[in-house]
Each structure stands twice: as C-alpha cells, then as structure tokens.
Amino acid sequence: MKIGLITIGAELLNGTRTDTNAAWIGQKVIIAGGNIVWHMTVNDEKAPIEAALNEVPGDVDVVLCTGGLGPTHDDITATVLYKYFGAKEEFDQAYWELLTKKFVSRGRVIPKSNRNQAIRPDIGEVIPNTVGSARGLHFSNESYDCFATPGVPAEMKSMMTDTILPWIKSKSDAEIFVKVMRTTGIMESVLYEKIEHELKSYPDVNVAFLPRFTGVDLRITASEKKSLEQLIKQISPAIQKYHFGGEGVELEDAVGALLTAQNKTIATAESCTGGLIGDRLTNVSGSSSYFKGGIVAYSNAVKEEAVGVSKATLESVGAVSEETALEMARGVREKLNADIGISTTGIAGPTGGTEEKPVGLVFVGLSFEGGEKAYRFTFTPFRKTNKLMTSQAALNITRLYLLNGL
Amino acid sequence: MKIGLITIGAELLNGTRTDTNAAWIGQKVIIAGGNIVWHMTVNDEKAPIEAALNEVPGDVDVVLCTGGLGPTHDDITATVLYKYFGAKEEFDQAYWELLTKKFVSRGRVIPKSNRNQAIRPDIGEVIPNTVGSARGLHFSNESYDCFATPGVPAEMKSMMTDTILPWIKSKSDAEIFVKVMRTTGIMESVLYEKIEHELKSYPDVNVAFLPRFTGVDLRITASEKKSLEQLIKQISPAIQKYHFGGEGVELEDAVGALLTAQNKTIATAESCTGGLIGDRLTNVSGSSSYFKGGIVAYSNAVKEEAVGVSKATLESVGAVSEETALEMARGVREKLNADIGISTTGIAGPTGGTEEKPVGLVFVGLSFEGGEKAYRFTFTPFRKTNKLMTSQAALNITRLYLLNGL
C-alpha cells in the first residue's frame, strides 16, 4: 500500500525541531504492509496544507498528516480538512458526557469553553487519543483515505498504534514481517562477510545494515514469515557472539539480564569514561539489585587512594596501561564487594596523546574471583565517541564473560 | 528569500535515517536571510525527483537538493539535474589534473575509472567539496536557482557553509541576526513572564522559546543588529541567574569554565544519577584539571563504606533524604580531597516509590569548606528523565554556588 505523509509545522521548516515523527512513521507502516512514497513538510497555514493535499500523487492510497491539530477544533489542520473533505461540525454529545465525567471524577466542574473539544465532523471518523485531549480525524474521498493526528510524538504514536496502523494492516494485501538484530563488537563489512552466503540464498528477505559507533543493527524484512525465520536461524550461529538483543534492547539491558539470571553483582572503576558505564547500567530499572556502584577514578590520586592502584604501577607504566586497568578492576571489585569488577583507562582526547600513547588508546580491565584480563583498543580522535565506544566495549566484555567465561 | 528543499533518499522515507539535514539547513538559511517555505522528501529515483522539481511553488527563488549525489557523475540526482536543466557533460581537465596530483602526492597512480569524477556540466557551476570527493552542482532556469549537494552531513554542511549560504546571503535583501541564550532552572511560562514586557517593546525581534527537559533555549532573531543587542541587554538582568551560555554551550562547559577560573576542584557522590554527572563533567576536554573523580554510591553499603554516610542516618531517615545527600557531598569532598562535593540521591523510578517518598523525589547535596546545603526536587515518573533533570540540577547548583556563593 502506497502512503503519503504530510508533516505540518513551521518549527519543522525553520529547523527548531528535527522531524523524528517521519522516521518513526516510515518504519512502522512497513510492518503494517505500507510504504511511504511521498513526504511533504509544510507550514501550519491554510494555503500550503491545501496545496499539499492537492499534490498527493495519484497512486497514493493513504495520506497521513501530523501536526497543527491541537485540543480545540479550530486548529488549522482540522479547519483545512473539514473544508477539503466537505465535512460539517457536529456536537458529539456522548464525548461531551465522557469529558464531563472525567472532570467530575477529579472534583472539578467542566468549563463551557471545553465544549469545542466535543466538536466532530458529520462524515468520516474521529480517532481516539489515549494520551492527550485532541482527537484525530479520518476522512476519505475517491482518491485516498486521510488520517490526521497531533504532532506531539506520544499522541501521534498512540493513535498510529491503536487505530491507524491496524487499519492499514487490514487493508493492505501484503503482510510484512520485521525483525531487528542488534550487534556489537564487529564492523559492518566483517559482519556482512560472515553472513553474505546466507543472505544471497534468501533473495526474498531484505536485510538492511544500520551501522552506529556502538555496533551494527540488522533490520530484516520479508513478506514470508517462514523465509524470515529460516534466514535468522541460518545466520544466528555466525553472529551469536555479537548479537545481544532485538529492537529497543540496549547492551546494558542484556548485561543486566545476565547478571540477574546468574545472581551476580558488578562494580565499576572508570577513568576515561568518567561515569558513563555506571550511567548506562543504572538506566535499567531494577539495576540496584546487581550494580553495587563504582569509583570514577579520574585523577591518579583517586586511582591510588580510592581504588588501590599501586604507586609503583602508576610510576612505571602509567595510568593508561594494562596493569593499571587490571588493578582498577580488581581494586573496585574487592572494595565494593562485587562479583565482577570492570575498569576503563585511556586517552579520551582530543589532547593528551603522545606517540607511544595516542588519543583513542584505551584499556578495559575485567576482574572476577579467580581470574582477570585486560583488553586494549584503539578508537578515534574524538572525545565523546571514545567514551561511548569504551563504555560499549566494557559492557560487551562483561556480557561475553557472563555468557562464556573467560 | 524563499527557499525550497528537496531531500533525496529511500532511507529517509522508510525511516532507517532521521532527516537531521533538513533541520540544520532550516536554521542556517535564516541567518543568511532565507526561509525554507517548502520541503519534499523523495526516493532516489528519476521520476519522483523530476516530479519534485516540477512542483516547486512559483514564489520560490532557490531550491536546495541533498542526497543521491555520490562520487561518480552517474548518481541519480546528477543525471536528473543534467537533463532537467539541459546541461551536457564536459571533461574538466583542470580538476582531473588536481585529482591526479592528489594521487601522486600519496605515491599512487590514479585509476582511469576516476575520470568520471572530473565530469562537469557545460552550463552552471560545480560546488567544491573540502570533505569528500563528490562535487556539488548549481544550475538555474527562469524560475529558480538550484543547488545540489551530497546527503552525507559533513559534505553537505561544508558546501553550504563555504559556497551556498554565502551565495544566499549575497542575493537576499534581508540580513538576519541570530543569538541563542540557553537557560536552565526555570520553566518556560515563568521565563516568559519575566521578560514579557521587554519582548513586547521589540516587535521587530522574534524570540522563540525552545523547551527541553533540562531548560529553555531562547532563539532570538532580528533583521536589525541594534534591536537584537538592545533586547538582549534589557532582558539579561532578569534572566542572568538562569542563563548559562550561548549556542552549543552545555551546562558542564559553563561549570568547567568557572572551576578553571577560580582554580577549584570538584568531586561527585552519585546515587540516583549513577555516574551521569561524572560522565557530563568529563565530556569537557581539560576536565581532568578540576574533576578529581567520584563515587557512584548506588547501594547503601557503598554509601556507608566508600562515602562515609553514617549507618544511623541511613537507618533513621533513609538513603533518599536531605541528611544522606549532605553526608554524601561532605564525605566525597573529604575523601577525594576536592574543594566542592556534589551529591545526588533519589527515587529514579519507575518502581520503588512510596507515598512518603514518591518516584521523582530527589535530593542534591552541596558541600564546600565552611558550608553545605541540600536541595529537594520532585521530578517525573520517568527514570531517564529523572536522571537527566537531577544531573542538570546538580550542575546548576554548582554553577550558582561558584557565581554567587551560597
């Protein structure tokens, strides 16, 4: 099913807001069997919205509009759509009673000015809003069905998920199956080589490689569920080591799940990451059951006094070294009484590099009862990228240790 | 000057990439005296690009195209534009010699296949690319001037900055001045009330309020530099307390600059933020001169043993309390031998709240030689938002202490 998208709002054109709705909608309609083939962004004014509705290509079946649709019926998108589709305003008594009840249940009297929230068109449909108070609109003419939602992402997503995507799915002839496999610790080209043969044996399955600094996501789509499942089954052994989760899963979620399942605790000693690993671990609800805490050992004094790195090590091989990483991981594990200690030390940059220890050089230390290991990386010239890649490497080292031991 | 934008690429329509170029371009053209009034996103195919070029509204003076323009001349955007503007391919001997020299200087022989990078149109202009190898294109007809750049953000930005924006500025009758003032610690509506009177006395200055979870940015634009400067001078006293920097400045930059200027050091004791404050402080290059480090005291045991919070405090008033926040700030300042100690403790959520201590309740502690203070906040039901807002509050408390004392 071919879908057109009209995103409405001056803030999108003048750049005060990035249009993240469009990308979200683009992804979601695919699963429902649709494809965005045409997308216009216009100001929230009468003439450009009308012009956009007139310019929708002839082969488009559905037009989605977001933005310019507020809690009152006189927002510009509603006004234009009522006129464009020849609808008249009606008072929706049932909805008015619902609104009134809501106010009463909060111990308030509903103001008369709220009556316009109960206005609805005499033709078409209103789309319920479980998040806010503005209802969406659904009109149709001989060319296409048109759905309008507010631009507020939470309200748009709720209307799409509850009403519009199911409608598209029910009308589209093609059902599309999508699965995301998130990987880390492997470059896009190497990942491709590992599964190239399998990909070529399933020409009806589309696999998009989405590289980030922290790994590569595979977005796999197919119209046959069986093909999708078989391809995943075939590529899984080769990428098992790198694959940590599906859509919406972060590496810290995967590490947290393993720690919980194995009833183990972790502590961090962070130098170059400055607290980022702790921040990521504590993004997970429930992390207090396995994350004891950490020491951000940014200065050498803190490395020595709070974590217990020896002066001799710092003086002989320096703070950015395998030895310091190991002593940090061991030190924090013992001091905070955790099962696993993980540490980072490196030159985050952009300054501070030397010929021997350039910007981007990082050591990650892992310590546990009965074993330890240090890992050396050379990342980028960029400070925040280095911090992010180091935190990812440390979390992945923890994940692999929990899965397979050292 | 009215500007149209055509962003080209299947990845924009199917949502595998968010169109961040459009927002960047939307902001930048304003400074050059232009406005994006029309924006289409199309697949990188012949028919939709041609259709978009045909549908440009009649009052548009300049059309910017991004995407579908790779290092070879046969990328689809170039092909369509050559045909649309009636251009013929020519071999650019001077550019070929430049390319050849580049290869020779790297000790390589240039492959014959690179000859097509030296193809240029017989009419119009090529736009130099200081970042990549694909050159941009500039054509014109009786309706508009058309500029095409690659979609790779770094290449697009370089061509816009070096060539296209200066061109727009030279042709536009209006010069526009822009200044961003970033604020924190004040709600949008309260900020508006504080400067409402001044805003109304300068109707020729436009002030956009851009709220985020961490504060409100003011984006101030005017065609008269003097009006802009006078308005800023008039509103500055009222917002001084909240205003921490201009465009691109983060709160941690402002705190870092104050610590450096006053030759003071800081240490953090983080519970509910889990390391986020340390992460933010260390995003600033040079932070090792003032950030000693921190303790992520996530569990009560770490609060007690590593930071020195008393068992009595934890047992009587609990971890999420004014007293614990103060003991954490004092403890980390003393243990890590810093001038300032800053601490966080709270219920990040979404679980763990009680009637007395609901999700979103946070205490921030500040300690320095000769004084200390605890601050109480009630944030949101959302974990990551609470962490972010808490880190912002803690950094802002530090900033205000450094500016004005307690």
A213: CATH = 3.30.70.2860
- In-domain check, residue B112: no
- Please report residues of A whose CB lies closer than 8 A to that of B55: 55
The answer to whether the pTM exceeds 0.80 is yes
Are A145 and A204 part of one and the same domain? no
CA angle A214, A216, A218 (to 5 degrees): 150
Is the pLDDT at B338 greater than 90? The verdict is yes
A35 to B14: CB separation less than 8 angstroms, yes or no: yes
Contact B14/A22, CB-based, under 8 Å? no
Say whether B274 and A295 touch across the interface (CB within 8 A): no
CATH of residue B283's domain is 3.90.950.20
Which two tokens mark A48?
């450009």
Q: Are A317 and A339 in a shared domain?
A: yes
Does B132 share its domain with B61?
yes
Residue A23 burial (10 A CB sphere; 0-12, 13-18, 19+)? buried
Sign, CA dihedral A286-A288-A290-A296, equals positive
A165 plus A189 within the same structural domain = no
Q: Kindly indicate the confidence band of residue B334, based on its pLDDT and cuts at 50, 70 and 90.
A: very high
B390–chain A nearest CA distance, Å:
12
B258-276 pLDDT tens trace = 999 999 999 999 999 999 9
A323 touches chain B (CB under 8 A): no
Number of domains in chain B: 3
Are A351 and B20 inside 8 Å of each other by CB?
A: no
B400 has a pLDDT exceeding 90:
yes
Strand spans (E) along A31-112: 35-42, 62-66, 89-91
Partner B contacted by A275 (CB < 8 A): yes
Structural domain includes residue B277: yes
Summarize pLDDT for B154-187 with one digit per residue, the tens: 899 999 999 999 999 999 877 789 899 999 999 8
Residues B262 and B224 in one domain: no
* Domain limit, last residue, from A206, A229, A245: A245
Residue B98 included in any domain: no
Q: Is B302 on the interface with A (CB under 8 A)?
A: yes
> Looking at chain B, which residue has its C-alpha nearest residue A352?
B286
Contact B302 A40 (CB under 8 A): no
Q: Identity (one letter) of the amino acid at B368?
A: F
B258: helix, strand or coil: helix
Does residue A113 lie in a domain region? Answer: no
For residues B356 and B236, membership in a common domain is answered with no
Strand bridging mode A291-296 / B291-296? antiparallel
Please report the sign of the dihedral spanned by the C-alpha atoms of residue A329, residue A330, residue A335, residue A339: positive
B221: closest chain A residue by CA: A14
**Last residue of a domain, which of A245, A269, A288?**
A245
Q: What are phi and psi of B379, to 5 degrees?
A: -95, -125
pLDDT at position B113 over 80: no
- List the single best residue of A1, A41, A131, A156 to mutate versus B (max B Cβ within 10 A): A41
User: Closest partner residue to A18 among B20, B285, B383, by Cβ?
Assistant: B20
What is the DSSP track for A218-267? EEEEES-HHHHHHHHHHHHHHHTTTEEESTT--HHHHHHHHHHHHT--EE
Same domain, B361 and B315: yes
Tell me the pLDDT band of B103, cut-offs 50, 70 and 90: confident
Instruction: Determine the structural domain holding residue A189 and report its residue range.
Output: 177-245
User: Cα separation of B206 and B199, whole Å?
Assistant: 8
CB of B121 within 8 Å of any CB in chain A?
no
The answer on B314 and B192 residing in a single domain is: no
**Would you say residue A104 lies in a domain?**
no
- List, as ranges, residues 17-56 from A with C-beta within 8 Å of B: 17-20, 22-28, 30, 35-43, 48, 51, 55
- pLDDT digits (tens), chain A, 406 positions: 999 999 999 989 999 889 999 999 999 999 899 999 999 999 999 999 999 999 999 999 999 999 988 765 557 999 999 999 999 999 999 999 988 888 888 788 888 777 877 889 999 999 998 887 778 999 999 999 999 999 989 899 999 999 999 999 999 887 789 899 999 999 888 999 999 999 999 999 999 888 888 999 999 999 899 999 999 999 999 999 999 999 889 999 999 999 999 999 999 999 999 999 999 999 999 999 999 999 999 999 999 999 999 999 999 999 999 999 999 999 999 999 999 999 999 999 999 999 999 999 999 999 999 999 999 999 998 999 999 999 999 999 999 999 999 8
Q: Is residue A204 part of a domain?
A: yes
Which chain B residue shows the shortest CA-CA distance from A9? B37
Residue B208 has pLDDT above 80, yes or no: yes
Q: Is residue A101 assigned to a domain? A: no
> Is residue A257 located within the same domain as residue A351?
yes
Question: Do B33 and B164 share a structural domain?
Answer: yes
For B27, the closest chain A residue by CA position comes to A15
Residue (of B240, B239, B268) closest to B364 by Cα position: B268
The CATH number covering residue A49 comes to 3.40.980.10
pLDDT at A360: 96
Query: Among B230, B245, B260, where does a domain finish?
Result: B245
Q: What is the pLDDT of residue B73?
A: 55
Yes or no: say if B366 and B398 are a contact pair by the CB < 8 Å rule: yes
Q: Kindly state whether residues B344 and B195 are assigned to the same domain.
A: no
Domain-located, residue A117? no
Distance from CA of A65 to the nearest CA of B (A): 14
> Do B160 and B26 lie in a common domain?
yes
The answer, for A274 touching chain B at a CB cutoff of 8 Å, is yes
- A293 contacts chain B (CB < 8 A): yes
Any CB–CB contact under 8 A between B257 and chain A?
A: no
Nearest Cβ partner for B282 among A18, A274, A287: A274
- Of B11, B19, B82, the C-alpha closest to B50 is B82
